[in-house]
Structure 1
Amino acid sequence: MAKNIWGVISLKRYSWRQLCALTISLVMIMSMFAACSPSKPAEQGTKQEDGAKPLTFDEVPYPEAITYWAGLGNANTVLKDFSEMGAYQELEKITKTKVTFQHPPAGNGVQDQFNLMLASGTLPDVIEYTWSSVAKGPDQAIKDKRILRLNEWIEQYAPNLTKVLNDRPDLKKMITTDEGNIYVFPFLRPDEELLTFMGPVLRKDWLDKLGLEVPTSIEEWEKVLIAFRDGDPNGNGQKDEIPFLMRDMNVAFYGSYGVMDGFYQENNVVKYGPIEPGYKEFLTTFSRWYKEGLLDKDYATTDGKLQDAKMTGDILGSLVTYNGSGVGRYMSLMKEKDPNFKLVGTVYPTGIAGQKSLGQQDPPFQGVGAAISASVSNPEQIVKWLDYKYSEEGHMLFNFGVEGKSYTMKDGYPTYTEDVTNNPDGLPMAQALSKYMPVSWSGPFVQDKRYIEQYVSLPEQKEAMKNWLDADHSKILPPITPTSEESSTYASIMTDIDTYKSEMVNKFIMGAEPMENYDKFVETIKSMGIEEAIKIRQAGLDRYNKR
């Protein structure tokens, strides 16, 4: 899932050679839009003369053609273009709308191309992106006439999305800015099963071999990690086991001490975890674990491929990972290699007596969706086209794909076919799904929990989901938005703080910086402006609560 980025383009971070490359890219992008954008003759548009009665929903046709910009997501290795995707092929048959897709390169290329495109003012008709993260916020993009305010268009020409929002006022609150603007057709995940997808995982077969119970507290985890270190659970007669691999996803353990790695709330008061006492307790524990050989000594340089090698090489005992690409994939990879291999997703370990640990959970809306360019001449047509994805038929199409190919109905339940669940070309399920629909990452539609029920189909995955949901999610901030002024200030503060914090956390854990210097670390962060950043987040939370 995309994370929030508060800030603006900083030309200082580019060399002259990079600036020249960016300028060339901008020219190419503008040329591409000029070539790809369909002509919109007067007879094609449906705008009404001043004083004329607006067209009704039934009177508005679907557009003949649309230009649509979006990242390829999980489809980037199986499709060259969304026009090859089953859902969009069916949508074209239904609406007769020809869509010309424009896909930025994966990775940092998505953000860079988006920023160049927005700065140019030359936008395609529809832009799918994490709009909550744009410089100065989506309200400013509306004021700058980059994208449309959608409230009235949705009310008149999007009855399906309107029904979704009327049925769930909490979702409508999330997609509406502090200034009252709806800026995208949103990607919505209304069920908690869709929002919690990662957590702590251990080798269950190692636990069984050593006669250990599944740990539920920090103290029990430490005993297990010591046993993994000393008890030769892989049975090769060598002390080569890595008890725990810590990477960048350890909410499972920050939360054990009642804090988070960034901003969170307690009774509507915003706090920043790294300057709170609980964070020092977390670092103290992990520093000791590192010194005692309970953590992977090379955790800071371990990437996904190396993590895979350690797990499938039978030397890794526990980690924090995802349910699909972690638990499910490792169980599949090890099925023939080691029939005894088994993982267990545990509850988030408690560190404070009588309290549940904080756990991972996304908000139902994270600012991702499809905005409409302010320059289009036929907004009502495009609104009607986008609204189809929120209809019953569109919901099925973008969650389950093409009936008879990617799913069949069994006793009223849309069941994925073996082309998805056991792909003959050996594609992982996320990629097999992406041949037909974007359900496994995002898009302007409502995600269906029947997707996740099948995506996490193994007993080990279902148990992990159950355990990870058994956590405290009350401190997670809702999707708040800054004003344009706040956005610039916040970005300038947090860019430096994030870099400094990451460096110092690793130094504390690895022992390069003694824990006695933690108070100096806190004072340095305060001197860098964290209290001003907290005020900005607090103001955003206060405005959100008043929506």
Structure 2
Amino acid sequence: MRKLGWNKSGTRAMAVLMSVSLLSACTPAASDKPSEAAEQTKDAKKMTSMKIFTEMGSWASQSTKNYGENLVFQEMEKKTGVKVDWIHPPSGQGKEQFNLMIASNDLPDVIVYDWFNVPGGAKKYVDDGVILDLTPYIEKQAPNFTKLMNENPEAKKQTMDDASKYYCLPMLRLQDSLRVTDGPQIRVDWLDKLGLKKPTTIDEWYNVLKAIKTGDPNGNGKQDEWPMTGQKFTGGNGIGNLAAAWGISYDFYIDSGQVKYGPMNPKFKEVLTFINKLFAEGLIDPDYMLNNREKQDSKVISAVSGALFAVQPSNFMRTMAESGRDPKFQMSGISWPVGPAGKAYSLSSSYTYQAVSPCVAVTKKAKNPEEIISWLDYAYGKEGNLLFNLGVENQTYTMKDGKAINTDLIEKNKDGLSSSAALGKYTMALNGWGMSQDILYHQQLMSQYGYPAAENWRTSDTSLILPRLSFTAEETQVVARSKTDVDTYALEMFDKFTTGKEPLANYDKFMQRLKDMGIDNLTKTYQAAYDRYQKRGNNK
């Protein structure tokens, strides 16, 4: 390492070199040689503070006023000497405060936000002079992040825009177990009572639901069960997820590289015919259209329904079995049903989203973008990964046989915080930050019921799922003009076909109406965006 003289400018350079080297030295590929980032920034002014705008995670907000009280950022200040001035909008006012901040041009150094879904796209805010294009900084200032991107090409495509530009640093969920959080599940204790096995095919689903309806598994001597419940037809809890068994979706999906709209496929009529049959025979909760999460879950907890698409079953098990309310209660995640498509497909987009919001952007008001990127990059390295996910060793966790074990500070918190709330107070894994979530944190958070469910779901085929796309200004107008109207009309018709208010004999008229609404042009728009997505990372 070249010596630096101890004059005024040399002292400043050494301080920056030490700060940046500390951050980059934690990568698996690090050596004693100073990083290229350190060499390039050694003559820059030392960064001592910065302002960060971010909503607080719901778990952290239960016990802290700002992230300055979080153990992770207290450690970061010790390591780097950088003090953060946190700007947290009041709960529920993040979008409003973001817009006011942009309108006033009173910008902090860093904005943590849902940049993947911001109206107009992050590129608009680069063009408007709000945030920086981070691409020129990433490779030199963020070796840890660059390494992860190169090792995970799908995450790289999801983080970039169609021009292969980086505008923010996202939260990464690289292991599939971190993403597979919801799917089909069923009351296994009811199956045992009725002498049935877990259904694996769509025909077995029908037979099991029929047996629940007629077999009185809740034991009250009445045929009052509505075997399957849900929230509406579409979405993660929707009964329309059964369409996966036909290898199609109720929305846009991918078929061998082609974007297609499920309801325009004649096979979707078969889906609706099957679901209509379930409804007509009393096998689906007649209130599914009106249910929210609370109402849906109450049907399960009150032993009215025993099958649904939902997040992993831990909450059900804690509420019923662990509390002693019903010690025999057993809700279990089961595989996505196989149907005419001959394969277990999933329609849950979370299974494929490796790069998610919140995402961390640097504003054009930032005086030290190089140092900020290096500071942020620390979270993606080996040492930073442990800090942001688990906290401080021997304080919040210990390591045993390669596994992390939470200390009593997390599991038996003296302030009465739940393990999730304690993790929110002392780590960032649950709060949302530019980092890579680690399976070590997740294994402890997930209960004994969550991982078996995930194991049943993670083997499903995700090739139908459309990735998160970006649209040009012209395409955005097409989507804004047509998609909402199409979705509203389609959902209305799905419910009518399901309940029999609209005869399935009118399905061709339904498809013609979709054509009249511009579904073909909308499909072409999505295809163009998907084609660009596939080229990301190759057009630098």
TM tier, smaller: 0.7 to 0.9
**Bigger CA drift: 443-452 or 351-360?**
351-360
The reply on whether 1:511 has 2:497 as its aligned counterpart is no
Question: Equivalent residues in 2 for 1:412-491 (5 A)?
Answer: 412-421=402-411, 429-440=419-430, 442-458=432-448, 460-491=449-480
Paired amino acid for 1:344: S
What is residue 93 of structure 1 aligned with on the other side? 78
Matched, 1:143 2:127: yes
In 1: Cα distance, 2:140 partner to 2:44 partner: 11
Q: Please tell me the residue identity of whatever aligns with 1:82.
A: Y
| 1:330-382 CA distance string (max 9 Å, x none) | 11121221211111211101121532333431321246410111222221221
* Alignment partner, residue 22 of structure 2: none
Residue 495 of structure 1, CA deviation: 2.2
Corresponding position of 2:33: none
Q: Does 1:215 align with 2:203?
A: no
Kindly provide the amino acid, as one letter, of the partner of residue 345 in structure 1: G
**CA apart distance, 1:71:** 2.5
Partner of 1:498: 487
Taking a change above 3 Å as real, the CA distance of residues 311 and 357 of structure 1, as seen in their structure-2 partners, is same
Q: Which amino acid aligns with 1:153?
A: Y
Comparing 508-517 with 330-339, greater Cα deviation is found at 508-517
Task: Label 1:314 to 1:352 Cα distance change in 2 as closer, same or farther (>3 A).
Answer: same
1:166 deviates by 3.2
Amino acid at match of 2:318: S
Cα distance change of structure 1 residues 405 and 242 upon mapping to structure 2, 3 Å threshold = farther
Contact (CA 8 Å) 1:140, 1:484: kept in 2 or not? no
Structure 1 residues 111 and 214, CA gap change in structure 2 (3 angstroms): same
Matches within 5 A, 1:340-379: 340-352=328-340, 354-360=342-348, 361-366=351-356, 368-379=358-369
1:196 positional shift: 1.4
Does 2:268 align with 1:279?
yes
- TM-superposed CA distance for 1:188, in Å, is 1.3
Match in the other structure for 1:388: 378
- 2:532 aligns with 543
Where structure 1 has 5 or more consecutive residues not aligned to the other structure, the ranges are 1-42, 47-52
Contact 1:187–1:368, Cα closer than 8 Å, also in 2: yes
TM-score, structure 1 normalization: 0.83
State whether residues 367 and 479 of structure 1, in contact with CA within 8 Å, keep that contact through their aligned partners in structure 2.
Answer: no
For 2:292, give the aligned amino acid: D
**CA displacement, residues 465-490 of structure 1 (integer Å, 9 cap, x when unaligned):** 11101211112223332123322332
| 1:105 CA drift (Å) | 4.3
Q: Give the aligned partner of residue 50 of structure 1.
A: none
2:384 is matched by which residue type in structure 1? Answer: G
Distance in 2 (alpha carbons) for counterparts of 1:54 and 1:425: 42
CA 1:268–1:372 in structure 2 vs 1: closer, same or farther (change >3 Å)?
A: same
Distance 1:479 1:118, change over 3 A: same
The answer to whether residue 149 in structure 2 is matched with residue 192 in structure 1 is: no
* Deviant stretches of 4+, over 4 Å: 57-62, 421-429
**Equivalent residue in structure 2 for 1:182, among 162, 166, 170:** 166
Question: 1:62–1:399: structure 2 CA closer, same or farther, 3 Å change rule?
Answer: farther
Corresponding residue of 2:112: 128
TM-score normalised by L of structure 2: 0.84
TM alignment of 1:239-388, pairs within 5 A: 239-247=223-231, 248-249=235-236, 250=238, 252-323=241-312, 327-334=313-320, 335=322, 336-352=324-340, 354-360=342-348, 361-366=351-356, 368-388=358-378
Which stretch of structure 1 is more off in the superposition, 267-276 or 70-79?
70-79
Contact 2:352 2:462 in 1 (8 A): no
| Number of equivalences | 494
SS in 2 for 1:187: strand
Percent identity, aligned pairs only, is 39
Cα 1:170–1:142, aligned 2, differ >3 Å: closer, same or farther? same
Q: 1-side partners of 2:504 and 2:467: how far apart?
A: 33
1:290, 1:510 within 8 Å by CA — same for their partners in 2? yes
Aligned residues of 1:63 and 1:97 also touching (Cα < 8 A)? yes
CA deviation after TM superposition for structure 1 residue 172, in Å:
2.7
Letter of the structure 2 residue corresponding to residue 444 of structure 1? G
The runs of 5 or more residues in structure 2 that have no matched partner are: 1-11, 17-36
- Counterpart contact for 1:244–1:294, Cα < 8 Å: yes
Moved more, 295-304 or 77-86: 77-86
Would you say the 8 A contact 2:241–2:249 is kept in 1? no
User: Does the C-alpha gap of structure 1 residues 489 and 316 become closer, same or farther in structure 2, counting only changes over 3 Å?
Assistant: same
Indicate the RMSD between aligned Cα atoms, in angstroms.
2.7
| Change in 2 beyond 3 A, CA 1:105/1:520 | farther
Assess, with a 3 A threshold, how the Cα gap between structure 1 residues 92 and 466 changes in structure 2: closer, same or farther: same
